[in-house]
Structure 1
Amino acid sequence: MRKVVSRDGTTIAYEKSGDGPAIVLLNGAFRDHTIFDALVPELAPHCTTYVYDRRGRGESGDAPEYAVEREIEDLAAVIGAAGGEAVVFAGSTGANLAIEAALAGLPITKLALHEPFYRVDGFPKPPWNVAKTTRVLLSEDRRHEAVEYFLGSFLGLTPDNVAEWRRGPIWAINETNAHTLLYDIAICGDHEVPVERLAAYGTESLVLNSSGTSEWLRAAARATADALPNGRGLELPGSWHRIDMDVLGRTLAEFATA
């Protein structure tokens, strides 16, 4: 992978593919750049894609102390490597991070989001002590339990859903990256859609949700789209928190190149 150095000296690893307008793909909790392995080939004929390992994951470095501002600087470094400006697509907690980066003034030409992790009225927020509990589990090296706790208490998955995740192919990487769950919890802040701050953000934005997702994620996507003056929401076919890849690729390519 290629490397770029963030403002605090942390090395961020990224891959570049394709040809056309630059688009940076930003992942959410647990995952590294490989989550986009199926999406990059859909985009590469139309866009120059940049996928990277967020700090603390994969081949990227980390720092002793975490701050959301450092992750914004990481994204700025990748955008710099992409030529100084780029379309950004981000999902899950990565969408929350992309919003904070956009509001901080990063040179994002267009912003595409997939189901940011906000909780609108009518949907319960995670426990007030979710960060503290996760930190304790990680400090005791109970990574397996930390992952289960995050999935249940933070995402609201049922015990059966969590058991299904345990049997899935990505459970090992979930445990490997469990220490970064604290980063994603911090990124989500108070879980409120930042309506007043978004009202001043005029960049063209697209907020996506899948047809098979949770009601709280659908509501969060709609509320985010409604808060963006130059934003629109779009529901696409898919399952829980996942859009069918060919449809997502076509949608993002059209959005990035229009």
Structure 2
Amino acid sequence: MVEKRGAGLWLTHLIMIAGVLVIFFPIWLAFVASTVTQAEIIRPPMPVWPGDQFLTNYRNALVSGVNVPVATMLLNSLIMAVGIAVGKIVISLLSAFAIVYFRFPARTLFFWLIFITLMLPVEVRIVPTYEVVAGFGMLNSYSGLILPLIASATATFLFRQFFLTIPDELAEAARVDGAGPMRFFWDIVVPMSRTNVAALFVILFIYGWNQYLWPLLITTDPEMNTIVMGIKQMFPSGDDFAHWPTIMATSILAMIPPVIVVVSMQKLFVRGLVDSEK
């Protein structure tokens, strides 16, 4: 292993620090704006250090918000993101397991039929999907927010590729020991897929958390608004008044759950992308 020393090492670290500062500075300004008064924001120059309104602004956002309390929107987004992530992983695990370990006619064709759905963006199928959801009476419900988005061709493909690397001897040994297909799945395949599941959970959680178009389409009840919808609705239109400290506080609160997920699962996330437990 070659180690960089001297000027090269310092230059590398300076570039990394500069990049972090460039990325972090807008977030810092948003945090500062969430801790000051409205007058301090609209009167230039904008402060660059936190003010004394932290508790007041965040309490107003969580309890009052603009149309709906931010706490309610955070809960809706959390349920939706976790439901989508868990649903996608469960369905993708089972479908990939069936395609790899079960012998049935045209199984390769079925895999490619699943994979080809990647060519259809959400906007293409959103109208028929809405009609199906409305027909089942799932508008303004968590099931309507989650179920139409839990199929994932990408996750199915990734799990299939991983399952193909598992030695066939493991399946033969399990069969000799009398383990059925589902016993082999739960006791051997799922534990070996732990890092892959963690990596996909992080990606899919953020995907579900950032959803905007689908929740906007199927929810008309303000109590079902997600946090991304709430931030957009807080911005003024026309001559409306915007309370910027509340908007900035809401934006900071919206970043906290994804950051917690990424930081808490960082090691498993990296291992799931670059390594495998076999």
Report TM bin, short chain.
under 0.3
Greater helix share, 1 or 2? Answer: 2
Q: TM-score, normalised by structure 2?
A: 0.22
**Greater RCO (CA < 8 Å, at least 6 residues apart):** 2
Q: TM-score, normalised by structure 1?
A: 0.23
Larger Rg: 2
